[in-house]
Homo-oligomer: A and B are copies of this chain.
Amino acid sequence: MAQLLVDRRDVSFVLHEQFAAGELGKYEQFAEVNPKIMDMVVQEARNLAIKELLPTNRTGDEQGCSFRDGQVYTPEGFQRAWQLLVDGEWIALDCSPEYNGQGMPSIVMQSAWEYLLAANMAFMMAPIMNHGAGKVLEAFGTPEQKETYLRRIYSGDLGATMMITEAEAGSDLAQIQTTAHKNADGTYSLSGSKIYISQGDTDLTENIVHLVLARIEGAPEGTRGLSLFLVPKYHIRPDGSAGERNDVVCTGIEEKMGIHGSATCSMALGSKGECLGTLIGQENKGLSIMFHMMNDARLMVGSIGLANASSSYLYALDYARARRQGNMVDDRDSKYVPIIAHPDVRRMLMHMKMFVEGMRSLHYYIALCKDYRTLAEKDGDKEKYQDLIDILIPVAKGYVTDRSIDICNLGIQVYGGYGYTKEYPVEQLLRDVRITTIYEGTNGIQANDLLGRKLFIKDGNLPERLTAEILEVVDKARKYPDLEALAHKLASLVDTWQVVAGQVKQDIGNGQVQNAFVHAYAFMDITGDMVMAWMLLWRACTALDKMNGEGKKKDLKFYRGQLKSAENFIGTVIPVTFGKANSILEKCGAAIEIEDEEFGAK
């Protein structure tokens, strides 16, 4: 079977044609990065993904992680795969070279990692944790923490985790009960239990660094009293060698629907009273440090969704081209045609195609915003890119992972009965991707964040930041006769979106808070649809530019495919988006007004 993870032509299109990522090379920070180097990195990631990670994906699912005598064991092949990640310096691709990072632009990491995530999402939970925890230490760690731990996290010499969740503290971090007692030497003694800790224990590395959210004795209740601590599995001696075992242990792992290759651990801290850690950042500032990390983590989760969706699409497309069943709907004499010829199969493939493309463009665009935010010299520019990232995060996480589930679900559907069996890869993709709407803030929380926070912060300027960017593409598209009608429809959707956003803000201002929030999810949906249409119209403009300009003849079909995606999205999805907008504008409050008992089963 072909190795079907990510459409390389499309990656190249987004990177170089839609977003001209090579322009980054004009800045001193990325002076060594040019389009050729970018392509080499992506190509290497692709090789690694196909040759090494993909073969471990199914065995990882079948074997899962196991837990014996307080130790987690990863499935066959994961240790080798980890070593290859370490050797190839893939973990900290876009991190600071000062601490073993590779210093590449984020958009390069985005495209390289898309292959790795598509090949084995469960395995990639390990480098994801290293990358995320490392970024926290890079921003908030003491020089000593960075020297001793960060460099080893980025190199992959150590594993890393984020220890946040407890049994009574899932979405509600105010309930965190783990405590920290300050010792005379400035260290802290931690005590408590955590659950759902990804990579809480592993055999990929000998030592692990846990970043633990806990409450210092006497600290305020709620989230204002949380602090973040660095708690290693083994202390590290001044010479760098592993010292004594710390009192933080894995007590069990979860049986889950998917990502069996990633251990989800229950952890006990200080059950012998000897769990020692050091503070990261200031006391009682744990939550805001966490949130610094959280934004990147949410984008990563969206990327995981995209990667699984991308793979499911390519498998389904490949299958639909090869599998023969039935006759053409308008030609009874045709027999045993490839199922891609059936209108309903085309509908499904088209749905998968346009969303995968729109989601890819969105994630690469946000990565590029991160790069330009880093490069920006003026405060105003920095702020602009940060604003765009901020308003797009709920879409890039919440909306994108919802669509990823839809797409992986359709992947099974295109295969028919075969798709439901473990003989084909598509059912695993759905089971694995299912977690993405939950972790790093459920999608409901993303929707609330968009409606209740992102519409209001910075004097409510974020929506206009977004619509200004969209309307730039609309203006460009208006100049192409082929795109004029599509541009007009998107412009009209932007108008409607502004009306809806205005009403929702007004409702909240008028104290109809619950009634506004009950439509938060629909609002995230219409925002996401608008963003997809923006990205697909942008792609169509780029494709037309190339078709009319220096584009190669062999790429003509690829470019035409871009026009079709935009046309189909704006022709079939956007009318439904207007319906969703109307649904919000109708302000039905039944789901708020209904009493708890009226839900039934009492």
| B-binding residues in A (CB < 8 A) | 4, 7, 9-10, 165, 168, 170-172, 174-175, 196, 254-258, 264, 314, 317-318, 321, 324-330, 335-336, 338, 340, 342-350, 353, 405, 409, 412-413, 416-423, 427, 430-431, 434-435, 437-439, 442-444, 447-448, 452, 511, 513-515, 517-518, 520-522, 557-558, 560-561, 564-565, 567-568, 571-573, 575-580, 582-583, 586, 588, 590-602
Contacts and interface: CB of A to CB of B under 8 A. Distances in A.
Given A444-B344, A582-B579, A196 B600 contact: no
17 contacts: A9-B601, A255-B422, A256-B420, A257-B412, A257-B421, A257-B427, A321-B596, A338-B596, A346-B592, A347-B591, A353-B599, A405-B409, A413-B443, A568-B594, A575-B579, A575-B586, A579-B582
Contact of A557 (B324, B576, B598): B598
Given A514-B343, A571-B590, A578-B582, A448 B329 contact: yes
Nearest to A563: B590
Residue of A258, A314, A409 most packed against chain B (CB within 10 A): A409
Contacts of A342: 444
A588 B175 CA distance: 51
Given A175-B325, A444-B413, A517 B344 contact: yes
Given A518-B344, A572-B586, A601 B318 contact: yes
A571 B595 contact: no
B336 A422 contact: no
Given A174-B335, A254-B421, 12 more contacts: A170-B416, A175-B336, A257-B430, A343-B520, A343-B592, A345-B444, A412-B434, A561-B599, A564-B591, A568-B591, A576-B582, A578-B582
B517 A171 contact: no
Given A409-B405, A435-B420, A572 B588 contact: yes
A596 to B, nearest CB: 6
A486 to B, nearest CB: 11
A349 B599 contact: yes
A488 to B, nearest CB: 13
Contacts of A348: 444
Contact of A518 (B258, B343, B576, B594): B343
A350 B171 contact: no
A561 B344 CA distance: 37
Contacts of A330: 511, 513-514
A517 B343 contact: yes
Contacts of A336: 172, 174-175
A437 to B, nearest CB: 6
Contacts of A427: 256-257, 434
A326 B175 CA distance: 8
A324 B169 CA distance: 9
Contacts of A572: 522, 583, 586, 588, 590-591
- In order of increasing CB-CB distance, the 10 nearest A-B pairs are A579-B579, A571-B588, A561-B598, A330-B513, A568-B590, A344-B444, A172-B325, A343-B517, A575-B583, A255-B422
Contacts of A327: 174
Contacts of A423: 254-255
Contacts of A596: 321, 338, 340
A405 B350 CA distance: 21
Contacts of A171: 325-326, 416
A581 B337 CA distance: 30
Residue of A336, A438, A580 most packed against chain B (CB within 10 A): A438
A580 B583 contact: no
Contacts of A324: 168, 172
Contacts of A264: 421
A557 B412 contact: no
A518 B175 CA distance: 51
Contacts of A577: 579
A586 B571 contact: yes
Nearest to A174: B335
Given A558-B600, A575-B580, A579-B575, A438 B419 contact: yes
Contacts of A170: 325, 416-418
B601 A4 contact: yes
B431 A314 contact: no
Nearest to A520: B344
Contacts of A565: 590
A345 B512 CA distance: 17
Contact of A431 (B340, B431, B452): B431
A373 B361 CA distance: 55
Contacts of A588: 567-568, 571-572
Contacts of A594: 346, 350, 560-561, 564, 568
A493 to B, nearest CB: 12
A434 B258 CA distance: 15
Given A325-B175, A579-B579, A588-B572, A422 B558 contact: no
Contacts of A405: 409
A81 to B, nearest CB: 24
Contact of A578 (B256, B511, B518, B579): B579
Contacts of A578: 579, 582
A196 B419 CA distance: 12
A420 to B, nearest CB: 5
